[in-house]
Amino acid sequence: MKVIKVNLKERSYDIIVGHNLLALSGRYLSSLKIGNSAYIITNSLIKIKYGNILERSLRKHGIASRFKLIPDSEKSKSLSIASSVIRDLARYDNRKKVFVIAFGGGVAGDLAGFVSSIYKRGVPYVQIPTTLLAQVDSSIGGKTAVDLAEAKNLAGSFYQPKMVLSDVKLLSSLNKRQIGAGLAEVIKYGIIRDKNLFSYLEKNMPKILALKRGALEYIVYACGKIKADIVSKDEREKKGMRTILNFGHTAAHAIEAACGYGKYNHGEAVGLGMLVASGISDKIGLLKPGMPARIEKIIKTAGLPTKISNVPLTKIISAHYRDKKFIGSKNRFVLLRDIGRTKILCDVPLALIKKEIKARF
Ligand SMILES: NC(=O)c1ccc[n+]([C@@H]2O[C@H](COP(=O)([O-])OP(=O)(O)OC[C@H]3O[C@@H](n4cnc5c(N)ncnc54)[C@H](O)[C@@H]3O)[C@@H](O)[C@H]2O)c1
Ligand SMILES: [Zn+2]
């Protein structure tokens, strides 16, 4: 078991990474002294698989619980579901000291965080992430949100959890595509910040794909440390440090939007987006020779697509121009000099962007 500290003064918290932590969740959560009634937001699949272990451990440590089941879909990140969850929580919270547990992937995490941030102007919540993506990314940093018809994640808040419990044993029931979705972000952390992590991925991808305990603990801890460090320095994305976390995401958002959400999951689009960004970095002479090939190889070995199919290039380009990450009318790319060294560039020529996206067809 390893602990990472997110340093945010009075909002500081620990990320605990280990194997079989869920069975000890009651002990960890009771030590926080945030309440004796847990309102667990999850979906039925996760409740069936793991609900008993969580409930039993909480009970053993004097914490009562109630499960609130939400649909297993991005559609759960909506104002209408948030409102029904809040009303249900209000009915449960009758003279109790209640706190919320976000138990699931990024969908449960984002919704539960959002609900916790606005119910009674904020009640404590903890994250127990159950997907690789949620363990390395969405459970850390306090970004909560629901989607609006106009765009994804448009209504939200910054609201930090009191603890993140990342039990890698829970990842054993994920399928290959769900693992790939998280691995794209893991590769991203290696590329933007950590040469050792990148080399580890080059050497150990088969162990990760086989969901070996040691390999999963290594990557979840390494990524958690990087995200915790960036968030500690730039909690609200005001100083530009969180921007590097968007490496690969400019083109990824355009690919997701152009293809319709669902054809490529977010991680697959990020894999393609990282190839576009490394291609641009290479063409403008920023990136060390040999690097684009290494990056492409690691994305391939993770089982992520390296080619785009069945969508017109023009659709991706127009989606790119609608992206909210544009500053004024300028595009903004996180580019690379080397593994671990990024550079943010505005106004990358459209012809170059087109060329690099085209290279992915
Ligand atoms: N807040 C942030 O900083 C942040 C960062 C990145 C992504 N996100 C958000 O995260 C969401 C995506 O998260 P996700 O990829 O975890 O998706 P998800 O929550 O939909 O989970 C993916 C699928 O895996 C299933 N699942 C979860 N845990 C499982 C387990 N242990 N075993 C078997 N199946 C399991 C879920 O039921 C679901 O069908 C998006 O809404 C995205 O906007 C938020
Ligand atoms: Zn992402």
Chain segment 2-59, per-residue pLDDT in tens: 999 999 999 999 999 999 999 999 999 999 999 999 999 999 999 999 999 999 999 9
Cβ 129 under 6 angstroms from ligand 1: no
Query: At 324, is the pLDDT very low, low, confident or very high (cuts 50, 70, 90)?
Result: low
C-beta neighbour count of 349 within 10 angstroms: 12
What's the 267 CA to ligand 2 centre distance in angstroms?
7
Active site residue 249: yes
pLDDT in tens, 128-185: 999 999 999 999 999 999 999 988 899 999 999 999 999 999 999 999 999 999 999 9
Cβ 113 under 6 angstroms from ligand 1: no
Average pLDDT taken over every residue of the chain: 94
195-201 LR contacts (CB < 8 Å, sep 24+): 195/339, 195/340, 196/222, 197/222, 197/223, 197/226, 198/298, 198/339, 198/340, 201/298, 201/302
What's the 185 CA to ligand 2 centre distance in angstroms?
6
pLDDT in tens, 254-284: 898 888 766 889 999 999 999 999 999 999 9
Cβ 170 under 6 angstroms from ligand 1: yes
Question: Closest Cα to atom 35, ligand 1: which residue?
Answer: 174
What's the 283 CA to ligand 1 centre distance in angstroms?
34
227-234 LR contacts (CB < 8 Å, sep 24+): 227/136, 227/137, 227/140, 227/141, 227/189, 228/4, 228/5, 228/6, 228/7, 228/15, 228/140, 230/193, 231/6, 231/8, 231/140, 231/141, 231/142, 232/6, 232/7, 232/8
Question: Closest Cα to atom 4, ligand 1: which residue?
Answer: 138
* pTM (2 d.p.): 0.96
Distance CA 63, CA 42 (A): 17
Active site residue 19: no
Q: Among the options 95, 121, 203, 324, which is catalytic?
A: 121
Residue 321 pLDDT more than 90? no
Active site residue 195: no
What's the 6 CA to ligand 1 centre distance in angstroms?
22
pLDDT of amino acid 345:
92
pLDDT of amino acid 239:
87
Residue 339 pLDDT more than 90? yes
Cβ 180 under 6 angstroms from ligand 1: no
DSSP 7-62: --GGG-EEEEEESS-GGGHHHHHHHHTS-SEEEEEE-HHHIIIIIHHHHHHHHHTT
What's the 68 CA to ligand 2 centre distance in angstroms?
26
pLDDT of amino acid 326:
54
Cβ 237 under 6 angstroms from ligand 1: no
Q: What is the mean pLDDT of residues 326-350?
A: 86
Q: Among the options 11, 61, 66, 237, which is catalytic?
A: 237
Active site residue 153: no
Distance CA 48, CA 330 (A): 48
pLDDT of amino acid 320:
78
Q: What are phi and psi of 66, to 5 degrees?
A: -140, 135
Q: Among the options 162, 169, 225, 249, which is catalytic?
A: 249
Distance CA 200, CA 189 (A): 12
Residue 242 pLDDT more than 60? yes
